[in-house]
Copies of this chain bind each other. A is one copy, B any other.
Amino acid sequence: MRIAFIGLGNMGAPMARNLLKAGHDLVVFDLVSAAVESLVAAGAQAADSPRSAAAGAAQVLTMLPSSPHVRQVYEGEAGILAGVAAGVPLIDSSTIDPQVTRAIAAAAAAQGNPMADAPVSGGTGGAESGTLTFMVGAEVSVFDRITPTLAAMGKRVVHCGGIGTGQAAKICNNLVLGVSMLAVAEAMNLGVSLGVDPKLLAGVMNASSGRCWSSDSYNPYPGVLEGAPAARGYTGGFGTDLMRKDLGLATDAARHVRQPVAMAALAQQLYELWSARGGGRKDFSSIIELLHHD
């Protein structure tokens, strides 16, 4: 199947490679020419705009950094909507404001293109190994039609409901993640200050009601988990600035539906503070460093 793929960053590039491996014809676009060249070397065809990439494609997939990029790539003069044939499904795997998702979906529907939002979890590791989880918001018929495409890049494809619900599920998950990481950071620092060994403390929590992914799989205290970013100076992983952005999406979405989210809002501010003080590009579990004594 001929697929247009727009957005070849740290996530998009390995996802596109997995589509090539699955035998699809890929037409790709990115503003960074080196990213395009690398995919062309792997067998893809280059396009000079999202519009020309979309022309002739049976499906279109986008993976972009933020809402304004997505708006531009779909609705701009040289955008997807200007080039795509009627009936072709459009899949956006970016993590963005669900309101923007719905606005673009409405514009697409007006010209006969069904749309799905399909943000992912699993990070760059999952993108490379093809083990991402896709959280998909789409009508059932659209979901069924695009599932084989997504399955070539991930191991789980979850239907969350109508358009926008993929984004909603993603930001709700990351809300809990961002808050619970801070809770674990506070608790680990406090316990150690009170004389408890960090590994033992993590063990107690992991066997009790404090158990969470941030403690048992990604513990922020150095020396507790071998594979975690804390074991390598908080390099790699999921950056503080990305968590900042996702918690910003969560608080924005909450404001639109008038849902109080005080813990998420405070967490967003603490990652903001950590970013302002130099922690923006480190893995988000480095927030524990903000709480240390100098």
Q: What residues of chain A have their CB less than 8 Å away from a CB belonging to chain B?
A: 98, 121, 133, 135, 156, 158, 160-162, 164-165, 168-169, 171-177, 179-180, 182-184, 186-191, 193-197, 200-201, 203-205, 207-215, 217-218, 248, 250-251, 253-255, 257-270, 272-273, 275-278, 290-294
Q: How far is the CB of A225 from chain B (nearest CB, A)?
A: 14
Contacts of A276 in B (CB 8 A): 258-260, 291-294
* Complex Cα gap A69–B184 (Å): 30
* Complex Cα gap A206–B138 (Å): 22
Q: Provide the main secondary structure of the chain A interface.
A: helix
* Complex Cα gap A278–B135 (Å): 34
The 8 Å CB contact of A272, one of B160, B189, B193, B258, is B258
Q: A190-B261, A260-B276 are in contact. List 5 more A-B contacts (CB 8 A).
A: A173-B208, A176-B184, A265-B266, A273-B291, A276-B292
Q: Which of chain B's residues has its CB closest to A182's CB?
A: B263
Query: Given the known A-B contacts A186-B261, A195-B164, A259-B291, are A215 and B270 also in contact in the complex, defined by CB atoms under 8 Å?
Result: no
Q: Which of chain B's residues has its CB closest to A180's CB?
A: B180
The answer to whether A191 touches B169, judged by C-beta atoms less than 8 angstroms apart, is yes
Contacts of A168 in B (CB 8 A): 190-191, 194-196
Query: Given the known A-B contacts A177-B210, A264-B186, A276-B294, are A195 and B259 also in contact in the complex, defined by CB atoms under 8 Å?
Result: no
* Complex Cα gap A200–B204 (Å): 29
* Complex Cα gap A187–B169 (Å): 9
